[in-house]
A and B are shown apart, each in its own frame.
Chain A
Amino acid sequence: MAVYLVRRLMQALLVVLAMSIIVFVGVYAIGDPVEILISPDADQLERERAIRALGLDLPLWQQYLVFLTNALQGDLGRSFVFNEPALKLILQRMPATLELAFGAMFLSILIGLPLGLYAGLRPNSAASKTIMAGSILGFSLPTFWVGLMLIMVFAVQLGWLPSTGRGETCSVLGFIGLQPCSAGLQWSWLTGDGLAHMVMPAINLALFKISLVIRLTRAGVRETMLMDYVKFARAKGLSASRVTFVHVFKNILIPVVTVVGLELGSTIAFSVVTESVFAWPGMGKLIIDSINVLDRPVIVAYLMIIVMMFITINLVVDLTYSLLDPRVRLENKGT
């Protein structure tokens, strides 16, 4: 186990290094931020001063080495636009995105698993057919449109839920009363008002994932129900609920965990549409703005953080496999 973890961490380091080169070169190729950052009226001298100040006069490989040296010391560069450390900018926005992504994931499991299980166990019932038809809608309706409709119905027409923003926020330490709410990383889910603000964006983000989990679970259940070991479990005289929730359920969790893990990563990284519709001040909004003005340090820092996040999620998923399926032997992987 320990050997496996160390090996995985080494691999992760290599992936991060490779990604940093790809990201850096890719962003370099997009265009010259100077054109956007410096006013067109500036003269040649001002331009050159600015270029030197941003470190853009060095050749690419030197820029990369500077970046790498700083990155190893925890400095991912300063934003050209905000003149603040890129990492700080991103971390400030991170709680908003994380709570939205986890909220959506939570909803998709909470709703998707039971519905999928039901649809798999009774494939021919009217309720199951409704569920499956609904999941097709969940797949195909565009996120932005659903978001707008949610706002129109629940915020504008009914006035039940707030339409935009994060509402009241609080820090974890503040929530348990150790320090004032305003200190530390701010979370919406710790306050009632914040939760009310989260409901619609989380549902909006979850809709696709709910559909995905429903279809995966249903397919898994239908496949597993035909297996001999399920029939054998029934031949042992076990109750239907024991067969379903122990024998079938544990077997269908593996594909569900895989997909939910991958989806969690991409939700955190690319929930920009939902964040824009609900004016949710998360990382997605920040990265789009940064790309528009070619704020290279922020783009690079963001992508590096996302890479590490994916690596972490994949590791957690692999560790979960070994819990779920005894045939997965971690020691033998990666050799």
Chain B
Amino acid sequence: MAAPTLEVRNLRTHFFTRAGVVRAVDDVSFTVERGKVLGLVGESGSGKTVTGFSVIGLVDPPGRIVGGQILFQGRDLAKATEAEMRDLRGNRIAMIFQDPMMTLNPVLRIDTQMIETVLAHKKVSHEQARQRARDTLGMVGIPSPDERLKSYPHQFSGGMRQRVAIAIALLHEPDLIVADEPTTALDVTIQGQILAEVQKLAQTTGTSLIWITHDLSVVAGLADDIAVMYAGRVVEHGAVSDVLDRPLHPYTAGLIGSVPSRNKRGEPLRQIPGMTPSLLSLPPGCAFRSRCPRAAEACLAEPEINEILPGREVRCFRPLTETAEQAA
């Protein structure tokens, strides 16, 4: 089997603010194989977006990567220079942002914004760049791309803008796309179309995807693997069907329990009590302890992430394994 597209090892990205050091990403590891989709799941503030920005090298001060490796096709991006990163960005690694209303520059035409991306990485003529832009727009399902190239972003709907953003990400057929909640701001039907589109494109081009979201139902249909983040750490990592069917970490179980489903009609939705703790003042021990129904003495110590079942990694002293279930 070929080397994975991306291997993140013990990544730490901290923000050095006046109020103290915020450990937005603290010891995060995961792997994305070629052509596979990793769902990065967590609540707001769990560090999933910062993880994405770390991979593409766009963590802005006061934040910086303080430790770990980001191996992209065997090359450590945490040590790459800005010029090397610029070469990769938009070319081999692309990113799609959350809010399509904000990602396109309002005062530049679509063609300008697409052609500049082509020309940033390929020595081709302006005309060839335009053709590439037009073809890619057609590929993501934008009708009459020739005309649309001459439009400004405000002349597009939200869903169309996200398609344009996706087209820009696809211009150079990247090996990896970091998608930061790209469907959150869209309505459900458009979301469905975009998901199907992206899945098809990833399969045909062999592109790997990191799909950042808080929506488990999106991950269920799209991802191959899933990494659940809580307070800057991965608390559970495994194949998507395993994790969703039989969560091991109480937090994952809580997240799944809080998704509305047809089987529980009429019942109040379960929710995880409490809030995500402030990353500035994390309590010692397991960060989820104060909200965890299974918390015990042992949880006062720092849990490590361990492979407790084949292919199932979890950061918990009291995981929801069969035996633990019986004991409880």
Interface residues of A (CB under 8 A from B): 227-229, 231-239, 242, 246-247, 250-251, 324-327
Say whether B76 faces chain A, with CB atoms less than 8 Å apart. Answer: no
| Contact (A237, B86) CB under 8 Å given A228-B99, A229-B102 | yes
CB–CB A239/B120 < 8 A: yes
**9 tightest A-B CB contacts, nearest first:** A237-B90, A236-B90, A228-B102, A237-B89, A326-B152, A235-B95, A229-B105, A232-B103, A236-B117
Using a Cβ–Cβ cut-off of 8 Å, how many residues does chain B contribute to the interface with A?
A: 30
A residues within 8 A CB of B102? 227-229
CB–CB B108/A238 < 8 A: no
CA distance A34 to B207 in the complex (A): 89
CB–CB B154/A326 < 8 A: yes
B residues within 8 A CB of A238? 86, 90, 116-117, 120
Interface residues of B (CB under 8 A from A): 56, 58, 86-91, 94-95, 97-99, 102-109, 113, 116-117, 120-121, 152, 154, 165, 168
CB–CB A229/B106 < 8 A: yes
Majority DSSP secondary structure for residues of A touching B: helix
CB–CB A237/B97 < 8 A: no
Interchain Cβ contacts under 8 Å between A and B, 23 examples: A228-B99, A231-B58, A231-B97, A232-B97, A233-B105, A234-B58, A235-B58, A235-B94, A236-B94, A236-B116, A236-B117, A236-B120, A237-B87, A237-B117, A238-B90, A238-B120, A242-B116, A242-B120, A246-B108, A250-B105, A325-B106, A326-B154, A327-B152
Minimum C-beta distance from B146 to chain A (A)? 18
CA distance A129 to B7 in the complex (A): 42
CA distance A174 to B256 in the complex (A): 84
Interface core residue of A238, A239, A327 (most chain B CB under 10 Å): A238
Minimum C-beta distance from A117 to chain B (A)? 17
Minimum C-beta distance from B73 to chain A (A)? 16
CB–CB A325/B104 < 8 A: no
Minimum C-beta distance from B95 to chain A (A)? 4
CA distance A327 to B153 in the complex (A): 9
B residues within 8 A CB of A247? 105, 108
Chain A residue with the shortest CB-CB distance to B87: A237
Of A228, A237, A246, the contact of B91 (CB 8 Å cutoff): A237
